Every structure is written in C-alpha cells, then in structure tokens.
C-alpha cells in the first residue's frame, strides 16, 4: 500500500493551486489552510493515497462544505464538523470508509477532505469529481456517470444533523439538501453519496490533489524567485494564455443562492485595444473576446492576478485589477455528449455550442 505523507508545505501549495482550479468559485481556501496549520501544530498528519490502490469494494467518502461563501466568512469552518459529517455517514450506512476524497478540487473544498482525514485517521484519496469547481450537485463526474445520488449527510457546528436518504435525481438532491443548509444558516458540512473503490476508479477524476499542489508549488517558487508566476503555471499545466487586461467593470448580484454577473476588461500589452467580458455563476462560465465567445465551460477559465499569479475570485474581483486570463483543459468526462449536458454552456443558459480553446 503506497501512501505518501502530505507536508504542511504541500498544503500551503494546495491552497494556492486549488484556488486557481476553482475558476473563480469554490471559495477561498484560506480559512481551510488556517485550520490545517492548527491541526499540524497539534501533531496531526494526513496522507495521500492513489485511487488505483483502492479495492473495488472499499467505501470512499466524498466531502464538501455547502452554502454561501459569504456566510463562511462569519461562521468559520471547524475541522471537526466535516469529520462529523463523515462519521454520521458511517453510522447511517454502517460502511467504514477506506479513504476520504474531495467533491471538488477547486477552491476551499479541496482542503475539507484533509480536515476530516486528520481527525478520522484515514488517507485522502488523490481524486475528485469535478477537476475544478462547479456550483451545483449534478455537475459532477459521478452525476454524468449516473451513479446513485443518495444518501447525503449534512451537519452544522451547533450539532444539527440531517440525512437525505433518498431522492430520485441529482437535481432533487441539490434542492432538498440546499433547503436544509439554508435553514442551518446557509452553511453546512456535507458527506455526499458514498462511492465504492470501483466507482472512484471508473468515475473519479484522478490525481487532482497532486495537480493542485504542483500548480501551487510552481507558483510559489516563481514568486520567491521573482519570476513570472503565470509562465510557471503554464510550465506545469498544458494551459493556454488567453488575455491580459485590467478590470473596467463588475456587475455582481446574489440571486437564487448563487453569485451571478459579468466582468469586463480592457486589454493591455499584446491585447491593447481589445475587450474581454466574462459571465459568471459562482464560477467563470463564458469568456467573450470582442463580442465572440472564446472560452467556455467545461474548459477551465482562470482569472489570475498578473503580478502575484494567484487566483481572483468572482466574489472579490474589483475595478482596476490587472489580470491575466488563462484556460486549462477540462477532465475528459465532461467532453462527452452527456458530460456537456451537465456542464456545457447550455447547462448554464447560454445558447452556444461548446468549442474548446484546445481544439
């Protein structure tokens, strides 16, 4: 059994890399990082396990925080709460989990499995179900694979605990669990439908924790050496530089539990005189260059601070920021016809055919 130790230095890199893979959403990993620093100071350690090491009949927990990132700024993440969501799922299903994995590697939810793993002494599985961040429960590889959407456990720091035991579809899972979360106060720690080792090997998106750490490490090293951090990202990922500019307008509105809006840029350097506009629903969804769609979901659109190279989120982007827009290739599961039904531009209400920047 091959398990590798995750160092605190790895987690610092994970926080930076996961925020980039969040494509504007998923929430900043900063508070999760603070939790992990405290846990490591207390002597707890976490290990990483490749999904290939799982037995077919092992059970794996998939975890995430659900709710409004804004609320998460006030009701801070407690690492024991996500561990409790996993423990409750074990009590309810009477399975013992072999490992714990992220629902989404993008943003703060990349750290949640590490917090649960530290308390429960299980390895973190090096895989997720989005390869990025997405706003809704049906936007995962396991939903594309039509795996079972239930049960789900939902836990809160004050000891509120609920189980969504059965729903007919992933969209209904989204609806019922969202209402429970809202009644808790718009933030809940959740353990998603348990997956077998065979499920994870077939439908998981492998290697994404390692990938996020590598991106973060490349970026942090470039920062230390005062080199171009964006070039560093593109040296470890087969991405594509799309645009450099500055933010000239942001329209943002919180509707139906989502942060929707658009941001506009004026080009600088090679892009002087050319405009870009990006529409978002928590995450960056479609980027338009001079009125023509140039990049769209499921391709990862990453808006980075041109100086630090770190990600800029849809909730924090503001007038005057100098940014660089890059695209990273999506997990192949989302490029199938069924994958595009779940996460292509039409799933977000844009009547355009998906065209990859990597085509």
Q: Which two tokens stand for residue 86?
A: 């996993």
Q: How far is the CB of 182 from another protein (least distance, A)?
A: 7
Q: Are strands 195-196 and 152-155 parallel, antiparallel or unpaired?
A: unpaired
Cβ nearer to another protein, comparing 180 with 312? 180
The interface mask with another protein, positions 137-156, x = CB under 8 A, is -------------x--x---
Q: How far is the CB of 72 from another protein (least distance, A)?
A: 20
- Give the single-character DSSP code of 347: G
Cβ nearer to another protein, comparing 183 with 269? 183
Applying CB under 8 A, among 1, 2, 5, 159 the residue interacting with another protein is: 159
- Count of residues that interact with another protein, criterion CB under 8 A: 23
Applying CB under 8 A, among 2, 5, 43, 158 the residue interacting with another protein is: 158
- The single residue listed with the structure tokens 């649960």 is 116
Cβ nearer to another protein, comparing 141 with 177? 177
Cβ nearer to another protein, comparing 85 with 325? 85
Q: How far is the CB of 166 from another protein (least distance, A)?
A: 4
Q: What is the dihedral of CA 25, 244, 278, 257, to 10 degrees?
A: 20
Cβ nearer to another protein, comparing 173 with 286? 173
Cβ nearer to another protein, comparing 179 with 318? 179
Helix (H) or strand (E) holding 322: strand 322-328
Helix (H) or strand (E) holding 203: helix 197-203
CA quadruple 128, 131, 135, 136: dihedral sign = negative
299-328: contacts with another protein (CB under 8 A):
none
Cβ nearer to another protein, comparing 153 with 306? 153
CA distance 328 to 235: 12
CA distance 111 to 107: 8
Q: Which two tokens stand for residue 307?
A: 């100086």
Contact 152, 192 (CB under 8 A): yes
CA distance 108 to 86: 18
First to last CA, the chain: 39
Cβ nearer to another protein, comparing 82 with 302? 82
The interface mask with another protein, positions 160-199, x = CB under 8 A, is xxxxxxxxx---x--xx--xx-xxx---------------
Q: How far is the CB of 95 from another protein (least distance, A)?
A: 14
Applying CB under 8 A, among 88, 124, 137, 312 the residue interacting with another protein is: 88
Contact 140, 102 (CB under 8 A): no
Cβ nearer to another protein, comparing 45 with 179? 179
CA distance 77 to 31: 7
Cβ nearer to another protein, comparing 159 with 273? 159
Q: How far is the CB of 178 from another protein (least distance, A)?
A: 8
Q: How far is the CB of 194 from another protein (least distance, A)?
A: 15
Q: How far is the CB of 89 from another protein (least distance, A)?
A: 10
- Give the single-character DSSP code of 123: P
Radius of gyration of the chain (CA): 19
Among 192, 190, 213, CA closest to 19? 213
Q: How far is the CB of 278 from another protein (least distance, A)?
A: 32
213-272: contacts with another protein (CB under 8 A):
none
CA distance 93 to 95: 5
Q: Which residues pair with 246 in a beta bridge?
A: 266, 322
The interface mask with another protein, positions 93-132, x = CB under 8 A, is ----------------------------------------
Q: How far is the CB of 279 from another protein (least distance, A)?
A: 28
Q: Which two tokens stand for residue 288?
A: 């338009």
Helix (H) or strand (E) holding 49: strand 46-49
Residues of this chain that interact with another protein (CB under 8 A) are 88, 92, 150, 153, 158-168, 172, 175-176, 179-180, 182-184
């Amino acid at each position: 059994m091959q398990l590798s130790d995750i160092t605190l230095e790895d987690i610092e890199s994970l926080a930076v890399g996961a925020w980039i893979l969040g494509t504007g959403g998923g929430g900043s990993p900063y508070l999760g990082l603070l939790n992990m620093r405290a846990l490591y100071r207390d002597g707890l350690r976490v290990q990483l396990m490749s999904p290939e090491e799982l037995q077919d009949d092992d059970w794996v927990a998939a975890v995430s925080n659900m709710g409004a990132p804004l609320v998460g700024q006030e009701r801070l993440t407690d690492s024991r709460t996500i561990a409790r969501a996993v423990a409750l799922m074990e009590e309810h299903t009477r399975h013992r989990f072999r490992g714990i994995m992220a629902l989404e590697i993008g943003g703060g939810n990349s750290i949640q499995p590490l917090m649960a793993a530290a308390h429960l002494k299980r390895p973190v599985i090096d895989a997720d179900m989005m390869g990025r961040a997405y706003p809704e429960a049906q936007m995962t590889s396991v939903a594309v694979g039509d795996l079972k959407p239930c049960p789900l456990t939902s836990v809160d720091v004050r000891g509120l605990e609920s189980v969504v035991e059965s729903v007919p579809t992933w969209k209904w899972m989204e609806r019922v669990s969202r209402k429970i979360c809202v009644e808790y106060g718009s933030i809940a720690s959740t353990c998603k439908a348990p997956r077998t080792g065979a499920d994870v090997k077939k439908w998981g998106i492998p290697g994404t924790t390692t990938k996020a750490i590598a991106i973060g490490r490349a970026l942090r090293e470039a920062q230390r050496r005062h080199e171009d951090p964006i070039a560093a990202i593109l040296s470890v990922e087969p991405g594509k530089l799309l645009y450099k500019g500055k933010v000239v307008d942001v329209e943002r509105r919180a509707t139906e539990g989502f942060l929707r809006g658009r941001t506009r840029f004026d080009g600088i350097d090679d892009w002087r005189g050319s405009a870009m506009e990006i529409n978002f629903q928590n995450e960056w969804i479609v980027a338009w260059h001079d009125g023509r769609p140039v990049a769209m979901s499921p391709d990862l659109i990453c808006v980075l601070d041109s100086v630090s190279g770190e990600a800029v989120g849809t909730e924090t982007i503001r007038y005057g920021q100098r940014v660089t827009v890059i695209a990273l290739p999506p997990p192949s599961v989302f490029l199938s016809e069924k994958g595009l039904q779940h996460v292509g531009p039409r799933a977000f209400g844009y009547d355009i055919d998906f065209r990859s920047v990597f085509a």
